[in-house]
Amino acid sequence: MKKNWDTIELLRHCRHDWLNQLQLIKGNLALNNVEKVHAIIEDIVQRTSNESNLSNLHANKLASYLLTVNWEGNPFVVDFEITNSGVQLSKYDEMLTKWFTQFFLTLKDVACEGVENHIMLSFQLYKEEQSIVVDFSGKVNDTSSIEKMLHNQLGSNMSIKDISIHEEELVFTLRLNEVK
């Protein structure tokens, strides 16, 4: 599931994404849907800001993975937002990259095709506590595989709290514990 992208492939995917956004703007301008154009532009600004914030967490492997995971033909789309008060994740980089790779592989196996499956990752990074809220909406055909993965794939530097698993929604908080 984790592909090593070369520069040309990265540029091709980025260019494709930007052209899609420009076509949406152009089409809505042609239809005189100015408010829709403003909403699209605001969404682009927000996504770009979140991508920049993710890139500035000093967790390069994690950032590379999350910035490209939607290009891998998964039955879900991943979005993220970052609330950060100057915390860096460099000491968690390898661990989080492996964990999210395993989580997305598990989800890929159980997410129903043909359904709009969406994952929102909310990084809440404060000096006193660092956590990531994972919110999946869509449909899965096997919640027990997800439960098993969540309980068996945790390292000593992570814990899960506030877990709620249902066929059409999965929400939990991945808490990062101090790396010793």
Runs of H (alpha helix) within 31-56? 34-55
Asked whether residue 86 carries a pLDDT value surpassing 90, the answer given is no
For residue 1, the model assigns a pLDDT of 52
Structure tokens at 85: 């008060």
CATH no., domain 7-176: 3.30.565.30
Give pLDDT, residue 52.
Answer: 92
pLDDT at position 8 over 90? no
DSSP, collapsed to helix, strand or coil, labels residue 26 as: helix
- Over residues 50-75, the mean pLDDT reads 94
For residue 87, the Cα-to-chain-centroid distance in whole angstroms is 19
Cα 47 to chain centroid, rounded = 11
The share of the chain scoring above pLDDT 90, in percent, equals 74
The predicted pLDDT at position 180 comes to 59
pLDDT tens-place string over residues 109-123: 999 999 999 999 999
Kindly state the average pLDDT of the residues 30-48. 94
CA distance 140 to 136: 10
Lowest mean pLDDT among 66-70, 161-165, 175-179: 175-179
Mean pLDDT of 4-27: 87
Mean pLDDT of the chain: 91
Given this model, what pLDDT does residue 137 score? 97
* Domain spans, the chain: 7-176
Structure confidence at residue 7 (pLDDT): 78
Whole-number pLDDT of residue 97: 95
Give the pLDDT of residue 103: 95
Whether 41 has a pLDDT exceeding 60, the answer reads yes
